[in-house]
Amino acid sequence: MLRTILFLSATLVLAVVGSILSPFELRPEQLDAFWLVTPVFIGFTLGAFLVGELTRNYSQVDKLWSVVPAVYAGLFAYCSDWNPRVLLAACLILLWSIRLSLNFARRGGYTWPPWGGEEDYRWAVLRENDLFRGHPWRFRAFNFFFICGYQMSLVYLFTLPVLLAWTDRPLGVWDLLLAIILVGLVGVEYVADQQQYDYQTEKYRQTEERGEASGAHGLGFVHTGLWRHSRHPNYAAEQAIWIVVYGFSVVATQTALNPTIIGAVLLLILFVGSADFSEGISAKKYPRYQDYISRTPRFWPTPWGQRFDPGAAEDDR
């Protein structure tokens, strides 16, 4: 995991340097909007770090992840005097934000006081790593540079294509197609998260009533519905959503590549590392999870290959 974090941090630095050296230039009004929103990003980042350190709850970025892209996009729309394409992208991001925030809220992510709630289990696991155990300043640095610094930078970067969507080119068929695809991907996320929520709710209900879950819930991890065809259907949809958002900048600028693609690319890399870490934990907790990994695509379903059979014993594989 630590190697992955170092790799992610290095890719962020290289991507930012590459974008600075890029010959692509913002128009003066776009540059003004960028410098208006950037202090907001810095404020969110420093606020998440300080609150996390004061409360010892290092999941403050999780509470902001689904909110701040809508704030950034809304500010870009305002700066553009409600340019139609920028406004369309901002409204779609708001739809994404509402859905993800509601899902996070029902899982207890938002509490009163707002800095409370459960901490992401991965940070607790990482604190037990030999590098951090007994060295609070090391974890404090990790919190500043990765949990807050890297993740909040990434959120800002994958929202920046909205700024480049600000041109005089009128809305067209491609914009409509991108909007339809994005709404569909939000729907996929909703279904995947609902299936995960229903499975975990029933598993814990059975555990509380009987002492242990049985049947499909006895395996411990969701493996039906969309999860039968992908180990992370919600991750797959999330990655695709921000590629679609980047698509609005492509339509607006009529160029296939511009510096704001770095946000979507870094998000793809982040989800690979995050999936590696979470799957490593799940494989240790659930005996059949490794079998599930070997038979189920990580992100995108494939029409070939076997599928995980929850009823089969491992010895019968």
Closest alpha carbon to 158 in 252, 271, 260, 254: 260
Query: Residues in the chain, how many?
Result: 317
Which amino acid would we find at residue 46?
L
- Within a 13 Å sphere around the CA of 253, how many CA atoms are in the beta-carbon half? 22
**CATH code, 68:** 1.20.120.1630
- Give a yes or no: residue 314 inside a domain: no
Domain presence at residue 116: yes
Residues of the domain holding 41: 2-302
pLDDT exceeds cutoff 70 at 18 = no
Question: Looking at the domain assignment, is residue 309 inside a domain?
Answer: no
pLDDT of residue 109: 81
Q: Is residue 317 part of a domain?
A: no
Q: Quick check: is 311 in a domain? A: no
Q: What is the pLDDT of residues 105-141, one digit of tens each?
A: 888 888 888 877 777 777 777 777 777 777 778 888 8
pLDDT band with cut points at 50, 70 and 90 for residue 80: very high
Asked if the structure places residue 315 within a domain, the reply is no
Asked if residue 123 lies in contact with residue 142, where contact means CB atoms within 8 angstroms, the answer is no
Average pLDDT over residues 190-206: 94
Instruction: Examine residue 312 and state whether it is found in any structural domain, yes or no.
Output: no
Give the type of residue at 240: A
Q: What mean pLDDT do residues 180-184 have?
A: 98
Question: pLDDT tens across 262-273, in order?
Answer: 999 989 988 888
Residues 2-6, mean pLDDT to the nearest whole number: 62
Domains contained in the chain, number: 1
pLDDT value of residue 33: 95
Which residues, other chains included, contact 80 with Cβ-Cβ below 8 Å and sequence gap of 6+?
29, 33, 86, 87, 166
Single-letter amino acid, residue 106: R
- Whether the CB-CB separation of 76 and 90 falls below 8 Å is answered with yes
Confidence of residue 20 (pLDDT cuts 50, 70, 90): low
What string of H, E and C letters represents the secondary structure of 218-272?
A: HHCCCCCHHHHCCCCHHHHHHHHHHHHHHHHHHHHHCCCCCCCHHHHHHHHHHHH
Report yes or no on 126 lying in a domain: yes
Q: DSSP state, 143?
A: I
Average pLDDT over residues 47-53: 93
Exposure letters 68-77 (e unless 16+ CB within 10 A, then b): bbbbbbbbbb
Is residue 178 scored above 90 in pLDDT? yes
- The stretch 179-192 carries a mean pLDDT of 97
Judge whether residue 317 has pLDDT over 70. no
Average pLDDT, the chain: 88
